[in-house]
Amino acid sequence: MLECPLCHGSDLSSPDLVHPAVCADCHLEFYPPGSSRVTLVSQAISPREAPPLHLDLPESFLSRYPVGGLLGAGGLGCVYRAENLATGAPVAIKFLRSIDNEEALLRFLREGKLTLRVGSPLVITVIEIDRIEGIPFIVMPMFERGSLRDMMKLNGRLSIETALPLMLDVLEGLQDCHSAEILHRDIKPENILLNSNGRAVITDLGIAREFESNVTSLTQTGQFIGTPNYMAQEAISGRPIGPATDLYAAGIMFYEMLAGRPPFRANQMPFLLDKHLNEEPPPLDVSVPNLPKEVVAGIHMARAKRTEDRPTSPRHFAVLLAPSEVAAREATDVLLRPERRHLAPSANRGTADTKPQTRGTRPTSQAEDNVSAAESPRSLFVAVLVSMISVP
């Protein structure tokens, strides 16, 4: 049965490759897979409030990425499934719907720019970024196994044997982000995807920012940026945030993976934020007996209220959780991927007794220079697009 991809209603007209289906519930018009036209939607713009925006895909695009069905919609735009004919692999194509929203456009382009900059196998990669008739799009790999949230909904509480390797993947990817001087700002299960090998990959750098002393989690109008369930004390208070803010979110997420529920719950946001500010969650080792003491202690440290009491880096957090596993991973990683040796334990990475280096002091390795040179055409394209837009 055909289902509306936006509201999931089932009362639809019958579409063909020329005429769209129309949802009787939300009035969305959308074209079936195989059509050369796509409908651009977002959760922020109801089809009842504004006419649908249709985009005709040129043959030069379809000859590389024949588009399938709509996978979903977010606040900025929507994501379609497609195939990369050059590799035969499935891909996800993210289109921006709110092209008249300057902030949304900046966030969309920033995601592509920062993703290219990280260059990590455990952070979502960008295959292509461009525009069609003024509409920006990003082509990314498709993750058939879904998200960590999908896994948690299906399985409930995750065993330590399942959760720990995934968490070490997240921390490795987050270390790569921080080594590139990028704050993610929205670590949560929905933003962790599972690749074909079952490894965790960080996605959605739409609100990520470069390391800066004045970055906060508030917009100019005082609204929060991020997800309240994973928001640290400094983010809630509007104080400057940094790498430790990502570590708090990671610690809260790992607690939820093991406990099967978030550490703090409330019916209204103010009460939830107050719990993050002032309360301690139920002890993890009480609700989940027989956890390794290193895991319990590491999560307790990561979710500390004060930034100075948290681990000094993602790698430090990982070492606290499983020192022998981290050492084995890094030894294998350096042997298999020598271009990432600058991410192995060294003075350049935060460790148990070193603080992460501040902005402007991080050395650049020859390997990083080579990666930057290889990515320069796409990076330059994104940089040019960003430079054409004035920041309010």
Region of residue 89 (phi > 0: left; psi between -120 and 50: alpha; otherwise: beta):
beta
Rounded distance between C-alpha atoms, residue 139 and residue 180, angstroms: 22
State how beta strands 89-96 and 135-141 pair. Answer: antiparallel
Question: What is the sign, positive or negative, of the torsion defined by CA atoms of 249, 303, 324, 356?
Answer: positive
Phi, psi torsion values for 274, nearest 5 degrees: -65, -35
Q: Which two tokens stand for residue 216?
A: 């906060």
To 10 degrees, the CA torsion angle through 370, 375, 376, 381?
Answer: -170
57 close to 35: Cβ distance less than 8 angstroms: no
The single residue of 11, 16, 130, 186 carrying the catalytic annotation is 186
Q: Where are the alpha helices (DSSP H) in 31-145?
A: 59-62, 102-118
Structure tokens at 306: 């004060």
Q: Are 80 and 72 in contact (CB under 8 A)?
A: no
DSSP 308: G
* Residue whose tokens read 């295959």: 127
Q: How far apart are CA 47 and CA 244, in angstroms?
A: 40
Q: What is the DSSP string of 227-252?
A: -GGG--HHHHTT----HHHHHHHHHH
Give the torsion sign (CA, 76, 79, 84, 88). Answer: positive
What distance, in Å, lies between the first and last C-alpha atoms of the chain?
Answer: 46
Question: What is the chain's Cα-based Rg?
Answer: 22
176 a catalytic residue: no
Dihedral of the alpha carbons of 126, 248, 252, 257, in degrees to the nearest 10? 40
List the catalytic residues: 186
